[in-house]
Structure formats: C-alpha cells, structure tokens
Structure 1
Amino acid sequence: MPLNQHYDVVIIGAGPAGTACALALQGSGLRVALVDRKQFPRDKICGDAIPSPALKAIRQLSQAWYDELFELTTKAETRNSRLVAPNGTEIVVQWKARTFNSPRLHFDQHLLSMVKRHTKTEVLENFGVKRLEISAQQATVFPSAQAAPLTAALVIGCDGANSVVARQLTNRTLDRTRQCAAVRAYFTGLSESDEQTSEFFFLDEYRSGYFWIFPVGQGVFNVGFGMLSAQIAARKLDLKQVLRHLTQTHPRLATRFAQAKQLSDIQGFGLPLGGVQRPISGARFLLAGDAAALIDPLQGHGIDKAVQSGILAAQQAVRCFQTHDFSAAQLFEYDRQVQTHIGKKLARSYHLMHFLSAKAWLVNGAFRFGRHPLIKNLLLKAVG
C-alpha cells in the first residue's frame, strides 16, 4: 500500500524510460511515484544491446551515475560490430564510444536500484494498472489489484510496447508496416565468437530484418531474429521456427552452433517502430520510450530513445509545474522536443530501411563499397 496516494508525477513502467525519467526528476522537489506491474528483477525480452547514446544521456545527468552503469558484473563491453551482407560481404566497425551488452534482467534492475538509492522516488512494484481517468483537476491511476487508486497532476506512460496509457488515452491502432516482431534465445558454446563483437546478418531469404549474435557476458550470447510484421504476416512465418532453421542449416551459421548449448526457450516480442508522428501527449499525460513508439526502424533497438525521451518527459514535467499548466496545448511542447531530438532521425531510418528491404543487391553493393573508409563513415552517419 502506498504511503502517500497523491503525487505530483506518477511514472508508469520502470524500464529504461521510466527510470531515466525518475533520475532526471531528482532534485526537482516534485513528489514522484514509479510503478511497475512486475517485481524486479524481471526479464525483458529483447536483443540486450545497450547503445552508447543511452549511456551518454545518463552521463549528462550525472558522471557518477554513468560510471556506476559500468559496474554491472553481467555484461560484455563491446568494441566492434560485424555486419554481414546477404552475399557474405563483411564490414567490421570499431566503436570509439564505450558501450556494452547486458541481459535486461540485470540492466533494468541496476537502473531501478539507482533510482532507489539516488532519488526520493517512491517505487511500487507488483502494481499493475487497470485503467486511467483524466479530469480537469488530476489524473487517476486505478490498479489492477485490490488497492486504492493513485492520483497525480501528471502521468508519464513508460509502460512499453503494449502500453496501457497509450491504449486508453490515444487512438493508436496496430499498423503492421510500422511494427516489427522478433524472437531471441540465450546460447553458450558458439564457435568463432568473442565477447567484444556484436554480429548482424542480413539474409537474402528474409529481407526487412536481420539475424543477430550479441555477447552478453560470461560466455553467453543473445541470439535472435526479427523482421517487419507485415512481411511476417504475408509469408505466414513462424519466427521461432525460422530461428531454429537458421542456427541449424544456414551455411554461415550452422557450423558455429554445432556445439552450442541453448540456455533458454525461444521467446518473442513486438517492436513499435518510430519514424511517423503520433500523439504522445495530451491533457495531464505523456508517453515515453516504447510506449511512444520510438524504436529505431533500421537498427531495431529503442533503449537509447527510451532514456532520451524519459529525460525529455522529466524536463516537460518541470515546465508544467513551473507554469501550473497541464493542458494538452502546454504538453504538446514535449511532442515538439521529441520530434526535434529523436523523431527526425527515426523518420530517416524508416525511409532508408523501407528503401533497402526489397533490394538485396543494393545492400550487397553498399557493403562492398562500405569497406572504403570514406564510404564507411557515410554509412555510419546514415545508420547512427
């Protein structure tokens, strides 16, 4: 039972967007609650890559917090990305900025522990949200369990791709052309792999997607495959079967998995792609992270955008309290900030992904010419 059932801000969802938002509100003087339907540590099914922009965003809040993230024991500090074209042409990229891969079971727990230790945020786990009501005076959050509702001046929805906040407070519908689906499992014992290299395989038989091998520390690898939901539906693909087939029969992959041991079941997840402007705010509410559909269409990850948008949401919350204005018009400034700092790049990524997805020959050519340092730098700028 919450100690105080009225807050200035209620953040729904304690993943990277929600925890970044809570960290960014530290020192604001606002009464903040961070709620999540799960008890941490909890697994979050994804590729487990933690891009350097996510870490840089935390660094802008606090150098000490940034340093603390690298104290994670279960991680692989990645230095390289190996990209393989459909015809087998390779590009190896050496990254200058520090980054790592870490199972979300551990990474998200670490972020939440930072919120508990460094802020006055009240954290409520096992707090599922059933519905929300918005009035002129406040937002009311009704829990799914038998408990008293929470009230707040502002609600920030950071509750993922299946966001309750987004479903109830916006008119969002499923668009398979703006949706990806993916599957992943953990393996050990892969050959020709190392803890410093993340690998991406673009396959002629499965366009508009890629297969990945990401080290996550202690000899474990996150192995997965994802592609556009529209293509999955059109071809009636079972992605779990596709992943098994690739690891067992693909000429560039099967030998590497010959002695591998699968540590977990194959599990699936959805990815709402960014690149189109959607309503992500309204009277007394904001959306951030996957709830705001901020997944990069080209790279397939969203943790950096989640952290960045969570911080932008915190900044908007402070502006609302400074002006005592929680209207849709005031909160639309957040939409503009997200579009400026995040949305424009996602739109470019979506158009580039759509352009390349049906043109394996063009991908092969880009990889061939991409070996030239100048062309490689241009490609890196295009994909981030």
Structure 2
Amino acid sequence: MTLPESCDVLVVGAGPAGSACAQMLARAGLTVCLVDQQPFPREKVCGDGLIPDAHAALARLGVAETVAARAHPVERVACIGPRGGRVEVPGRLAVLPRRELDQILLDAAVAAGAEFRAPWRFEGLLTDAQGRAQGATLRQGDAVHEVSARWVVLATGAVPQALLAAGLCRRRVPSGVALRGYVRHPAMAERLKAMEVVWHRSLRPGYGWIFPGPDGVFNIGVGIAHSHRTLVDGRSAKQDVNLRAVFDAFCRHHPSARELVQGGQWVGELKGAPLRCTLEGAHWSAPGVLVAGEAAGSTYSFTGEGIGKALETGILAAEALVAGGEEAAVRQRYEAGLSALKPRFDLYEKANRINAHPWLADLVIWRARHSAGLRRRMAGVLEETTNPAKLVSAGGLLRLLMPMR
C-alpha cells in the first residue's frame, strides 16, 4: 500500500510506544500515519514479561482483556541468589511474546483509525527554513517517499540510526544488551510456575531469567546492564562481555535453565538486542518532533522491564499533542511528563547495584525469607509503590544485617 502524502501526525515505529501513541491520537480525531521498517507480525527481543505498569497502560488502551485472553498468567516472581537462596514475590504478572502483544497493539491503533504502512524505513526529517520538522523521508527498497506532517513521533526503539538521522541522538551506544530464546517444554510447564530471575557472579553485571509463556513455551535469556563504559576521552566502548558465554554460564549454573535447554525443543534461535535505559541517550523533543519509547530510554536498568514504560511514554506523547497549543507548549507538556517519570528511573538505576554485586541478592533474599515485611517491600518494587534503591542503600543494607526480631 502506498503512503499518504500528508497527515496530522507521522508516528515512526509500531512497537508499544508507537502503537499506543497512534491509537490515542486517532481516537482524538487526528489523522495518523503509523509506519514501521518491518512488516507485522514480527519478532522482538524481549523478556515478554508484563508487570503492573503494563497492565495499567493496556487497560487505558482498551486491550487488557484481549491480552489477558492470550497471555500466560503468572502469580509470582522467584528471586534466586548466587548460593541458591530463593524467595517468591507475589505480583500481577503475565507473559506474552512480543510478536503477539505488538500485533494486538497495532490492530487496536488501526481499529481506532490510524493508517499503518510497512516496511518503510525512516531516512530523515523534512524541515522548513527555520529547521522545524514538517514530516519525514521514508524508504522502501529503491522507493523514496516524503510524508508531510504537523508532528513526527519517533518511537524507533533502541537501535540509534533513526535518532542519528534526526539529529536527536545523545549517546550512540546502548545502556545494556540482552539475549533471549524460546524453548518448548510442556513437562516443565507443569512445575515451573513462577517467573525466575537469577543472579550469580558468572552473570554480572546482569542476570538470567526464565519466564513461562503460553502453550508450554518458555522465554529464557540473560541481560547485561552497563554493557558499555565511558573512556577518558569521553568516547564509549563495549565491555569485554560475550553474551553467548554468559548464557552458557547461566545454563551451567541454574538447574532449571540446564533442564530446559537440554530437554526442551528450541523454537527459533537465540537473538540479541540492545537496551536503552533510564530515559537517557536522546533528546526528548525538537521542533516538530517528540521521541517516545525505548528511543527515549524507557527501559528500567535494574529489572530490564520496558513494555509498561514504553506504553506510558507513547500515551504521554499523544496527550501532549491532543492538548494542542503553541509548539513550545506541546514540547514542554511532553517533557514535563517524562521529567515526572525520571526520578523513578534513577531509583531503579541505583538498585542496579545488585546486578553488579550479586552477593547483595543473597543478602536480600536470605532476609526476605524470614521477613514478611521485606517481601511486601519487594512486591512493592513490582507495583512501583516501593523505592527499590532503598533495598541496597547503606541504610537498607544495615537494616538487613541487624538481628531479626
């Protein structure tokens, strides 16, 4: 299908942020063209976990019941330390592969009135004499097309090419990297009910996970936080970390991972992807442009969770545009919304110490097994009602070491 010549808003990227934004805009009566460089349905490297913030955003978008009907419900997260200690934390959780989740979100945006076109790759912004974006240039093979738009929303994910082309990239390198695969093992599905998160010195500065999904298929993977370091001259360089070696270490160390990969059937291949975290690495807006989702850094560095916050940033972008007004007011409204979220991202960045120092996980898990109050605080991390940084602050660690009453 051909692209329209013009629209009110051109949304680039049809993942959670882009589709959420497009749906909200179309609901409000704006003409929306939503484009993606890949045809749908398509794979997306992710843990596929839906935690409370994602459920809340899905409800706002009117797709919570559709997602729940297909997702695998989970009642607990099992936190497992380097010495094998385990504590299970209750939560409102579910697992649904992004191939299916993103298609549901895209279908909802189209049903609301957004026009979807793919595969079209973002090449750059169209600008007026003052430098304000007036649309974008898109490419499909040898075909190049220009779409005029009052606003452009870039929801292009963690790969920085679109941000670079738009002149909005502040950091080329990612915040972290992840590797995941799918393994079908119906027999284990009868036993492994919780979402397992595992810390071990062989996995630092990251962790491993096993999430039970629909139809006896598990999402298994490893994530590495702070995968790049800043050099003396200000440039960034990749840490000397081999993700496949980390994944193999996870399977050697964790019995459930070893049983899963040895006795299960692989569904596809292991795939890796970058992560952009802590609402850093890109300018949030420019004249005529808003940046949303993981392009804006919408993933939490400690937990690696990004679906809920990507949805939230897409909704915030739509709300800012629907409210209208002068351009400066729209940008200020959107950036104020992200600024309100930023302190929570910073708290999760501080809690990221656990990934770098897995002995902290041993300490927290040991104490939580004997403290209902601490288990409630850990559940609050999932619900975003507890400050996760306090669990590993100096004061928090001192309280963990004090004798139990």
Given the two structures, how large is their TM-score scaled by the length of structure 2?
A: 0.84
The letter of the residue matching 1:293 is: G
One-letter code aligned to 1:188: R
Task: Report how far residue 163 of structure 1 moved.
Answer: 4.4
> What is the CA–CA distance in structure 1 between the aligned matches of 2:80 and 2:3, rounded to whole Å?
53
Pair 1:382–1:108, CA change in 2 (3 A)? closer
CA distance in 2, matches of 1:147, 1:255: 50
C-alpha displacement of 1:55: 2.2
- Greater CA deviation, 297-306 or 1-10? 1-10
Q: Shift of the alpha carbon at 1:66?
A: 2.2
Query: In the alignment, what sits opposite 1:67?
Result: 65
Higher mean displacement: 260-269 or 192-201: 192-201
Would the aligned equivalents of 1:284 and 1:326 in 2 still touch at CA under 8 Å?
Answer: yes
CA contact (8 A) 1:83 1:199 kept: yes
Letter in 1 for 2:118: E
Indicate which of 200, 214, 217 corresponds to 2:214: 217
For residues 278 and 159 of structure 1, the distance between their equivalents in structure 2, rounded to whole angstroms, comes to 12
Question: Which of 239, 245, 269 is matched with 1:241 structurally?
Answer: 245
CA contact (8 A) 2:199 2:207 kept: yes
AA partner of residue 289 (structure 1): G
Distance 2:4 2:302 in 1: 43
Q: Which amino acid aligns with 1:266?
A: L
Cα distance per residue 1:46-86 (max 9 Å; x no partner): 11112231221131343xx32222233xx311111111011
Gaps of 5+ in 1: none
Matched, 1:141 2:142: no
CA contact (8 A) 1:10 1:32 kept: yes
1:299 aligns with 2:298: no
Verify the 8 A CA contact 2:20 2:61 in the aligned structure 1. no
- How has the CA–CA distance of structure 1 residues 360 and 26 changed in structure 2, closer, same or farther, with 3 Å as cutoff? same
What do the CA deviations read for 1:93-138 (whole angstroms, capped 9, x no partner)?
A: 122x3x3211111111121112222x11111111111111332565
String of CA shifts for 1:133-184, please: whole Å, max 9, x gaps. 33256522111231431010100011111144422231412356xx111111
Distance (whole Å) between structure 2 residues aligned to residue 85 and residue 40 of structure 1: 38
Q: Distance in 1 between matches of 2:145 and 2:364?
A: 57
Match of 1:51 in 2: 51
> Counterpart of 2:117?
124
Shift in CA distance, 149/88, structure 1 to aligned 2, threshold 3 Å: same
8 Å CA contact 1:275, 1:348 repeated in 2: no
SS of 2:213's equivalent in the other structure is strand
The 5 A counterparts of 1:1-384 are 1-2=1-2, 4-62=4-62, 65-72=63-70, 75-95=71-91, 97=92, 99-117=93-111, 119-135=112-128, 136=130, 138-145=133-140, 146-167=143-164, 168-174=166-172, 179-189=175-185, 192-193=188-189, 194=191, 196-228=193-225, 229-230=227-228, 236-248=240-252, 250=254, 253-274=257-278, 276=280, 279-320=283-324, 323=325, 325-327=326-328, 330-340=330-340, 342-353=341-352, 355-371=353-369, 372-382=371-381, 384=384
For 2:276 and 2:184, the matched residues in 1 are separated by 30
- For 1:189, give the aligned amino acid: H
My pick for the range that moved more, 292-301 or 23-32, is: 23-32
2:234 maps to which residue? none
Of residues 149-158 and 258-267 in structure 1, the stretch that sits farther from structure 2 once superposed is 258-267
Equivalent residues, number: 368
Q: Scaled by the length of structure 1, what TM-score is found? A: 0.88
Write the distance in 1 (CA, Å) between the matches of 2:281 and 2:291: 13
What one-letter code is carried by the residue in structure 2 that aligns with 1:273?
Answer: C
Structure 2 gap segments, 5+ residues each = 230-236, 385-405
Give the conservation status (yes or no) of the 8 Å contact 1:157–1:163. Answer: no
* Structure 1: distance between partners of 2:245 and 2:357: 24
Rounded Cα–Cα distance in structure 1 between residues aligned with 2:100 and 2:27:
26
